[in-house]
């Protein structure tokens, strides 16, 4: 079912939007209300019309026309969802409505209160057919009015009431077309807004995925490749004077680093293809212990653990917190020249989880650089840490420690893993 649309001298007609479901629903409601107005006008006007009509055939004719109009209006009001599409697709069916108008006017006269129920015809045609359909149907109704006026010209007030009724018909047609165009224009604007919102959502999703991929690459493959490069440089520097055992150990280290980079790359690619979060939540405390032990083994920097009680966390939360911890520890190794690291996990009221990595090294440069400055200079670690904290609904802070050094603190909601909660019930 399509809404008729005309061009040429009637280009003010608003074109129907590609998606018509909502717009047709609004038009159907307006059409139903039109028949409700006609039904009310007939019910209210019938007693007055009969009181002012002579006895005999004129009264019976007016009563018959009123009963016909009331019955037809009620049927259209109740079953417009069935009749409406047919009337919309076949404008010729409006001839039946014009026939009713002519019958009512000839039976009751233009001066009768029932005559004002005929104004609904141009209003309905405006809602359904636009300017051209309204112009044709309103013109035919005006012809009916002129014909009826000639038949009732002897009746007192027939001329004035006919002119008033003609003005109402023209105004009703204009109102109907205006409402129709407003419905379509609002529909087109709503559709355009929905398309813009959809494009923005896609753009935001792409930006978020690019940022996530950048963090994953920085926190895994990029670090491993950096270590691989350093090891390869050491191997090249010692190639001329080192013994074969040392060279062999360094070569094994290079090979292990290369394999680790390949494994991390496969993990990133697998996560890109599957993006599933159905794995069981990891134990954050155990993972932090493993991270601390590995850090101490690699750097000979003692690490103190203070791991308080905390709820079981979803996999994504554990993943982000461990990635932040790894990046903070890597910054300690590279830049802090620290002699000790303290790793703290605790809960804070009302329901926050606090993860803190504190060292006693050289501390933050003064003035403290902003994230934007670090990004422009190619240091993406702190930016990734801040983005991970925000993705958890928390925040990241960098401050100086009480004895020097740097404190990296993440504060995020301690939302438990849903299926773990169900297991405790």
Looking at residue 342, the DSSP 8-state letter turns out to be E
Q: In the predicted model, what is the mean pLDDT of the chain?
A: 78
Tokens representing residue 209 in the block: 């995925």
Q: Residue 353: pLDDT above 80?
A: yes
Q: Residue 94: which of 135, 146, 36 has the closest Cα?
A: 135
Helix (H, G, I), strand (E, B) or coil at 98: helix
* Identity of the highest mean pLDDT range in 164-168, 267-271, 325-329, 367-371: 164-168
**CB within 8 A of 34, min separation 6: which ones?**
120, 123, 124, 127
pLDDT of residue 317: 86
Q: Residue 42: which of 68, 60, 16 has the closest Cα?
A: 68
Which residue is it, tokens 């090249």?
A: 236
As a whole number of Å, the end-to-end CA separation of the chain is 55
At residue 355 the predicted structure's pLDDT band, cuts being 50, 70 and 90, is very high
Among the ranges given (23-27, 81-85, 88-92, 414-418), the one the predictor scored with the smallest mean pLDDT? 414-418
Residue range 146-167, pLDDT digits in tens: 998 888 888 888 888 889 999 9
- How far is 10 from 132, CA to CA, in rounded Å? 7
**CB within 8 A of 349, min separation 6: which ones?**
none
Stronger pLDDT, 339 or 251, i.e. the higher one: 339
Q: Residue 276: pLDDT above 50?
A: no
Stronger pLDDT, 219 or 61, i.e. the higher one: 61
Residue 339 has a CB neighbour count (10 Å cut-off) of: 12
Helix (H, G, I), strand (E, B) or coil at 18: coil
Any bridge partners for residue 406, and if so which? 400
The pLDDT of 335-355, averaged and rounded, is 87
Q: Residue 3: pLDDT above 50?
A: no
Helices assigned H by DSSP within 332-405: 371-376, 381-391
Q: Residue 130: which of 223, 215, 246, 8 has the closest Cα?
A: 8
Any bridge partners for residue 346, and if so which? 354
Any bridge partners for residue 97, and if so which? none
pLDDT of residue 311: 79
pTM above 0.85, yes or no: no
Q: Residue 265: pLDDT above 90?
A: no
Residue range 70-125, pLDDT digits in tens: 898 888 888 888 888 888 888 888 888 888 888 888 888 888 888 888 899 899 98
Helices assigned H by DSSP within 218-243: 223-238
Residue range 179-189, pLDDT digits in tens: 988 888 887 88
pLDDT of residue 169: 92
Residue range 295-344, pLDDT digits in tens: 888 888 999 999 887 778 888 888 888 888 888 888 888 788 888 999 99
Residue 287 has a CB neighbour count (10 Å cut-off) of: 15
Contact yes or no for 60/83 (Cβ under 8 A):
no
Among the ranges given (218-222, 232-236, 287-291, 329-333), the one the predictor scored with the smallest mean pLDDT? 218-222
pLDDT of residue 6: 40
Looking at residue 333, the DSSP 8-state letter turns out to be I
- How far is 164 from 391, CA to CA, in rounded Å? 68
pLDDT of residue 201: 82
Q: What percent of the chain has pLDDT above 70? A: 76
Stronger pLDDT, 17 or 81, i.e. the higher one: 81
pLDDT of residue 263: 66
pLDDT of residue 368: 63
Cα–Cα distances in angstroms (integers) from residue 228 to residues 116, 231, 255, in the given order: 91, 5, 9
Q: Residue 346: pLDDT above 70?
A: yes
SS3 assignment for 99-161: HHHHHHHHHHCCCCHHHHHHHHHHHHHHHHHHHHHHHHHHHHHHHHHHHHHHHCCCCCCHHHH
Stronger pLDDT, 21 or 414, i.e. the higher one: 414
Stronger pLDDT, 378 or 151, i.e. the higher one: 151
Residue 364 has a CB neighbour count (10 Å cut-off) of: 17
Residue 189 has a CB neighbour count (10 Å cut-off) of: 11
Residue range 42-63, pLDDT digits in tens: 888 888 777 766 677 777 887 8
pLDDT of residue 284: 86
Phi, psi angle pair for 111, to nearest 5°: -85, -5
Which residue is it, tokens 């209003």?
A: 123
Residue 38 has a CB neighbour count (10 Å cut-off) of: 27
The pLDDT of 125-153, averaged and rounded, is 88
């Amino acid at each position: 079912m399509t809404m008729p649309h005309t061009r040429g001298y009637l280009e003010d007609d608003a074109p129907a939007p590609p998606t018509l479901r909502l717009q047709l629903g609004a038009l159907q409601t307006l059409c139903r209300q039109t028949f409700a107005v006609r039904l009310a006008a007939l019910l209210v006007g019938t007693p007055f019309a009969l009181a002012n009509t002579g006895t005999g055939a004129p009264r019976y004719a007016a009563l018959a026309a009123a009963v016909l109009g009331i019955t037809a209006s009620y049927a259209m009001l109740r079953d417009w969802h069935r009749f409406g599409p047919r009337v919309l697709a076949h404008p010729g069916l409006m001839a039946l409505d014009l026939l009713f108008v002519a019958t009512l006017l000839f039976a009751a006269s233009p001066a009768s209160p029932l005559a004002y129920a005929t104004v609904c015809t141009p209003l309905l045609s405006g809602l359904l057919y636009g300017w051209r359909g309204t112009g044709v149907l309103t013109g035919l109704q005006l012809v009916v009015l002129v014909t009826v006026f000639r038949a009732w010209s002897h009746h007192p007030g027939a001329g004035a009431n006919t002119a008033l009724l003609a003005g109402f018909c023209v105004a009703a047609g204009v109102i109907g077309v205006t409402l129709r165009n407003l419905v379509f224009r609002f529909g087109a604007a709503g559709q355009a807004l929905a398309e813009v919102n959809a494009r923005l959502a896609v753009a935001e999703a792409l930006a978020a995925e690019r940022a996530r991929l950048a963090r994953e690459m920085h926190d895994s493959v990029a670090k491993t490749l950096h270590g691989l490069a350093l090891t390869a440089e050491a191997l090249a520097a010692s190639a001329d004077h080192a013994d074969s055992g040392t060279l062999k150990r360094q070569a094994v280290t290079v090979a292990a680093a290369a394999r680790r980079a390949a494994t991390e790359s496969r993990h990133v690619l697998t996560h890109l293809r599957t993006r599933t979060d159905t794995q069981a939540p990891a134990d954050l405390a155990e993972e932090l212990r493993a991270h601390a032990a590995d850090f101490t083994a690699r750097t000979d920097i003692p690490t103190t653990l203070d791991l308080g009680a905390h709820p079981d966390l979803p996999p994504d939360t554990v993943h982000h917190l461990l990635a932040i911890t790894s990046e903070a520890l890597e910054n300690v190794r590279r830049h802090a020249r620290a002699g000790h690291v303290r790793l703290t996990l605790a809960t804070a009221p009302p329901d926050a989880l606090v993860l803190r990595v504190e060292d006693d090294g050289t501390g933050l440069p003064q003035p403290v650089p902003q994230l934007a400055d670090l990004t422009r200079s190619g240091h993406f670690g702190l930016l990734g840490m801040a983005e991970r904290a925000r993705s958890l609904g928390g925040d990241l802070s960098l401050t100086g420690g009480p004895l020097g050094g740097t404190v990296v603190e993440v504060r995020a909601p301690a939302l438990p893993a849903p299926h773990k909660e169900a297991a405790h019930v």
